[in-house]
Structure 1
Amino acid sequence: LNYDFASVGFPMSNNTALGISMIRLASDDNYDTRGALIDVNSGQVIHDINNPNARIDPSRVKLFSTADWAIFTSYAFQFSDVLSFGGNVKLLRRENAEYNAFGVGFDIGARYRASEQFILGANFQDVTTTFVSWNTGRNELITPTLKLGSAYLLDALGGQFAPALDVDIRFENRRSASNFNLGSMSFDVHSGMEYLYKNMLALRAGYSEVGVLTYGGGIRLTKFAVDYSFSQYNVFEQFENTHRISLIISFQ
C-alpha cells in the first residue's frame, strides 16, 4: 500500500487558522486478468476457469490501481488558553479500475488542556454520516467514528515524556473485529509514548489495536522538522514492514 499526505496551514488571526490537506491511499500496479483467460487451443477468450484448456495470456493482462483520495478544507479556532475547536469539509474519491465514486463528509474536533501536563482531545469523523456514490449506481454510507485521546506531559531526563492513550469508537456492529464491543458499538485502543529532548530530538513508540508495534523518531529545527516511523506489519504475513517519512516546513 502507498500512503501519501500533503498539507498546508495558514494562520488567519491570533486564534484562528485555515488548512488544506490531501490524502491518497492506494494499491498500485494490480493485475487485471479479466479478458486474459483464453482457450489454449483456439486462442479465444473464455470465462470458465474450470475449462481444462484454460490458460492466462500474459499479453492480455492489464495493470490497474485501487485508490482512495481525500481533500480537506479545515478551520480551527482557539476559544481560550485551554480550549480549541476545529472542523473540516472533505471531498472523497474512490477509484477501482474503471469504477469510481464521489463523496462529501464532515469532521469536527476539540482539544482541552485540563492542566499544564494533562491534555484531552476528541475527533468526530464523518459526523453526519458520509454519503458515497459510485458510477455503477450503487451508494454507500460511512458511519461516524468517535476518537477520544489523552496525553500526559512529564518532565524527566532533561526532556519531556508524553505517554498517550486513545480509543476509536465505531457504530458499525464490528463485534469480534474490534478489541471489545457493547452491542453494535465497538472500541479499538491505541497507545504510544514520545520522548522529546530539548524540544529538538524525539523518540517514539506505539502499539495499535491490531497488535502492530511502531517505532520512530524525529528532529525539529527552526524552520523545518523531519520524522520517521517504522511499523512491523510482517507479523501478519500479508503486509511487509512499513516505513513512513514526513517533512514539515515553516515559512514564519
Structure 2
Amino acid sequence: MDQLLENLRIRGNEKTFLKDPESTDLGRRIIEQSIILINEIGFEAFTFKKLATQINSTESSVYRYFENKHKLLLYLSSWYWAWLEYQLVFATYSLKDPHERLNKAIEIVTRTTEEDSNYSHVNEVILNKIVINEFSKSFLTKEVDRDNKEGYFQIYKRLVNRLEKIINEVNEDYEYSKSLASTLLESTLHQHFLREHFPTITTCDKPETTTHFLTQVVNYALKK
C-alpha cells in the first residue's frame, strides 16, 4: 500500500511497449489520440496509419513505441486497471470495518468513471468506454496463453487479487473468493455494455444500479 501511494505515476504494463510513451511528448500524444480514435471508429477499424494522420506524424514513429495495435490495446487496458487499482487502494486503505471496505471496493470498480485531472493526456471517461467495449479483444485471441505467460495481464490479475483479499476479510471461509472477485470485474463491464447496447436485457438501466446490483450479489454470496 505504502509503495503504491508513494508512486502516483500510473503507467501501463511495461511489457507491452517498445519505448515508454510516457517518456516523450510524442508518446503521450499517441496515447491521448489513440484513445480518442479507438472510441470513435472502434478497434477493428483502428490502424497506426490513421493514428499517425491524427497526430500529424508518421506511421513508423508509432511503431517505435508499440509493435502492433494489439500491444497498444494491452497497454491502454493495463493503464486503466492500474488507475482503477490506485482508486481502490486509496479509497479503502483507512477503512477498518471489512464490510464497509468491501462495499466501498465494489463502489469503486462499478461506478461511472469520472475524468482525473492528474493525467491530462488520458481521458479516463473515454478509456473506460474502450475497456467496456474492447477489453475482451485483448484476451479472446489464439495467443492468450502466450500473452498471459509473458505477463501482459499482470495488472488486471493484481486487481483481482486485491478484491479477493477484501472478500476474504469479510468471510474467510468462502471457497470461491477468487472467482467472485473476477466475476465482479467482468460483470461490471458486461452490465455497462448491456446498458449501452442491449438495454432490454438488463435492469441496470442507470449507472448506479450496476453498483446496487453487484453489491447485493457479492454480499449475498458472502452471507454466513
TM range, normalised to the smaller chain?
Answer: under 0.3
> 1 or 2, which has the higher strand percentage?
1
> 1 or 2, which has the higher helix percentage?
2
Normalised to the residue count of structure 1, the TM-score between the two structures is 0.22
Higher relative contact order (CA 8 A, sep 6+): 2
Higher Cα Rg, which structure:
1
